[in-house]
Amino acid sequence: MRAQSTVAESPVDLVLAALDGGATSRRSIARHADLSDDLASAVIDQLIRGGQLKSESLAFGCPPKGCGDCGAASAARPACLSGGRGTDRPVLVILSRDKPNGQ
Amino acid sequence: MAARTPDTTGPGGRSVFTADCHAAPAGRQAPSGSATVALVGCPNVGKSAVFRMLTGVRAGVGNYPGTTVAVGNGAWKLDTGKLEPAQTVAALDLPGTYSLDPISPDEELVRDLLNDDHPDLVLAVVDAVNLSRSLYLVAQLREQARRIVIALTMTDVASRRGIEVDAAKLARAIGTPVVVVDGRRSTPPRGLAQAVETALLSAPTPARASRRGANQPPCCTAEVLGDTTPPPNATDEPDQFAAAAERFSWIALVEQAAVTTPRTPITTRSDRIDRIVCNRWLGPVIFLAAMFAVFMITTKVAAPLQEALGALVDGPVTSMITAAFGWFGADDTIAAHFVIDGVIAGVGAVLTFIPLMILMFGLLAMLEDSGYLARAAVVADRLMRAVGLPGRAFIPVIVGFGCNVPAVAGTRVIPNARHRLLTVLLLPFVSCNARLTVYVLVGTTFFGSNAGYVVFAMYVLSVALVVVVGRLLRSTVLRDIPREPLMIDLPPYHLPAVRLVGAVTWQRLRAFLKTATGIIVITSALVWVLSATPGLGTHQTGSAAGFGNVSVSDSVYGQVSRAVAPAFNPAGFGNWQAASALITGFVAKEAVIAAWAQTYATSEPTDVGQPGALGDSLRADFGESSDGHTIAAVLAFMVFLLAYTPCLTTVAAQRREIGTKWTVFGMGMQLTVAWVLAVVVFQVGSLL
């Protein structure tokens, strides 16, 4: 059975520490934090919901303002692979830390 | 929301919620006054399948929150196996929700229904595969006194992944009954009905004991699990972050008590590939190899296609237009030369880019769609941080390989101003597609079948310049730049879809043509006009003196180029034709080839056997200006082209992002680096 963190340290603190420690993927965060993949992933998703982590879907070659700024897009459809929100196509997601007050 | 009529009291004396109107088509309704059982759960846990199993009502099963917007209602007969008639309850299928802190109307509906309307019992559908996510919702449900029964689904899938959930231990840890359920069956397990009936006859389970002070919401059953952690400071302000942290601590304890996971986690195919692709040492090598393959394929396959298109424009198209002017007796007029040598030459240059762009955009789209480019971002993130650039700079850098202009604009995603400044100053060293066209021409002319290697070397040098100049800037004028951690959520690997890759390639090609065509045609026409304008002190002879009747070398264009050319003597390409190309390239790299073609086509031909043979003219002039060290001079020229200012539009974009002072600093830095590198390359190369 995987070793669990001490009760004194919340999985949330462990995940944030793993992020600050340079973990670059969900799997490596779980390893750094010594949590199960499932628990680490749930913490990350909750932090995104709570705004402590920002999730941005990004595609290459597209303007930062989005489809409206792209010469190849039209009102009917975007011009990039990540333009369809909710698509199951692989999309690069970058998460950034937004430390809460006092944290 | 549907109207509700509390018309009876249930166990404990509280009013019973009875939903009597629903948007979704309803199956058999429970008798009025029946107890209400609300099904809650995260999306994709099998909640609707369980609801269908309990009530026989068909309900849609969707993958995203909001798929079942309406609240489903059906009658569930509690078949406990006892002799007396089975109790019927009203089952409500609430929309999927991850949390009772809503971020959508559906989640708000669920929270309001549970907290304000108090169903008699909550049947929480919990997914054994993603237990933690489901338990977050359960943790919140347990923060109020409620009757709760857990329906544990997907235990078979969990078992296949090595995850074993002990339902009895889970029940003790959570403090509520847990029943294993398979939503694919046609009838529910008897144990579920028994658990619900027993719970309905009992008082609600007390809320998890509060450990955060009197004014805090209830949070822990730590006492049940033997947790001895001291509670947080009671004077702390309640906030969602602290509440979430506490809930996950509770979840960790619950899972510790009831869940067994494999010693080594089961790895997916993507994980196994990532061990190699994202490896600290192999990752960069693989990344370089992938980029090398892209460039080799692009240059080798595009070159003959470009040649064919160029021949088409120079041959039949030019002949047709010349003939058309001839029909009107205007074939040797200024207008004809302007159209043919200015505009058509520019259009021809654009056309020859198309095969190159299609291949480049197509290959990058394939890498992106496959999921590999996300891994490249992980690899590049380490490189970025080694330079002192923020991880976010990877995106503008990758965009910069297409075009520096949107790359500079794309630095707006970098929140820190100093990071943004550093990135904008370095982006001009990223070799864009426009420079690629010149590389390919020069590479093919001087290196033949080895052109791909030379072109790739330019890209490697480009990356090296970003790294070296970046470190230089960080250790000198930009010492005060903080570091920023970056996490990248890797998508699973995917076979690229041909249709999608094709659509994206077309969209990006169209965007390139839309922006580049105007620049190229206008610059080409402008170069022609300057080439046709007599320079100062030019002696014109004959009756046809003046505009349009002067050699390029005697034109305004030629004279400016001659004035600049000596500066390139130490770099081995101090001929005015090369200088003129670089001056044109300062305006727009896309127009370099068109300007070169004009320069050589309107000058006296050096090769009578092949009029307009640009390659031969280039070989002759580079050979002459370098005293026979042609290759060294060509490499020096390519290095200068790589490192100096990309184009006027990039300068304008930079000025918008970092202001005039830093933009001028950047231009000076680029010209200095370009000239010094070119001189070094030629001087060292001519010794070899």
Evaluated on CA atoms B583, A72, B374, B367, the torsion sign reads: negative
- Give the pLDDT confidence of A52-62 residue by residue, as tens digits: 777 665 554 44
Spatial contact of B210 and B186, defined as CB atoms under 8 Å apart: no
Alpha carbon B4 to chain centroid, angstroms = 47
Two tokens at B432? 């864009």
- Return the amino acid letter for B123: L
Cβ distance of B255 and A36 shorter than 8 Å: yes
Cβ distance of B508 and A43 shorter than 8 Å: no
pLDDT at A86 over 60: no
Q: What pLDDT score was predicted for residue B481?
A: 66
Contacts A11 to B, Cβ<8 Å:
245, 248-249, 251-252
The beta-carbon neighbor of A39 closest among B251, B489, B494 is B251
Q: What pLDDT score was predicted for residue B57?
A: 64
- Return the amino acid letter for B521: V
Q: What pLDDT score was predicted for residue A4?
A: 44
pTM above 0.90, yes or no: no
10 Å CB burial of residue B97 (0-12, 13-18, 19+) is buried
Two tokens at B501? 């890759």
Q: What pLDDT score was predicted for residue B235?
A: 37
Q: What pLDDT score was predicted for residue A101?
A: 43
- Return the amino acid letter for B287: F
Mutate to test the interface with A, among B487, B493, B508, B517 (most CBs of A within 10 A): B487
Phi-psi region of A94 (alpha: psi -120 to 50; beta: other; left: phi over 0): beta
CA atoms within 13 Å, Cβ hemisphere of B243: 21
Contacts A64 to B, Cβ<8 Å:
409-410, 412-413
Looking at chain B, how many residues does it have?
A: 688
CB pairs under 8 A between A and B: 199
Cβ distance of B487 and A59 shorter than 8 Å: no
Q: What pLDDT score was predicted for residue B28?
A: 64
10 Å CB burial of residue B651 (0-12, 13-18, 19+) is buried
Instruction: Kindly identify which residue of chain B lies nearest to residue A8, measuring between CA atoms.
Output: B229
User: CA-CA-CA-CA torsion for B79, B85, B90, B93, nearest 10 degrees?
Assistant: 10
- Helix, strand, coil percent values for chain B (each to nearest 5): 60, 5, 35
The beta-carbon neighbor of B252 closest among A5, A70, A90 is A5
Cβ distance of A95 and B489 shorter than 8 Å: yes
Which has more confidence, A73 or B483? Answer: B483
Contacts B357 to A, Cβ<8 Å:
none
Core vs surface per residue A45-68: b (16+ CB within 10 A) or e? bbbebbebbeebbbbbbbbbeebe
Rounded to two decimals, the ipTM of the complex is 0.73
Separation between Cα atoms, residue B474 and residue B560, nearest integer Å:
37
Cβ distance of A97 and B255 shorter than 8 Å: no
Cβ distance of A42 and B507 shorter than 8 Å: no
Helix (H) or strand (E) segment spanning residue B74: strand B72-77
The alpha-carbon gap from B213 to the nearest alpha carbon of chain A, in Å, equals 18
Q: What pLDDT score was predicted for residue B528?
A: 77
Low-confidence residues of chain B: pLDDT under 70:
1-28, 57-70, 83, 209-238, 263-266, 295, 299, 303, 349-350, 353, 387, 391-392, 395, 413, 415, 481-489, 511-512, 514-516, 519-520, 538-545, 594, 598, 601-613
The alpha-carbon gap from B587 to the nearest alpha carbon of chain A, in Å, equals 21
List alpha helices for B154-262, DSSP H. Answer: 155-160, 167-174, 190-200, 222-225, 240-258
Two tokens at B489? 């959520």
Q: What pLDDT score was predicted for residue B237?
A: 37
Q: What pLDDT score was predicted for residue B227?
A: 44
Q: What are the two backbone dihedrals, phi and then psi, of residue A52, each rounded to the nearest 5 degrees?
A: -75, -25
Evaluated on CA atoms B94, B95, B96, B98, the torsion sign reads: negative
| Sequence-distant (≥ 6) Cβ neighbours of residue B7 within 8 angstroms | B16, B18, B32, B33
- Return the amino acid letter for B470: G
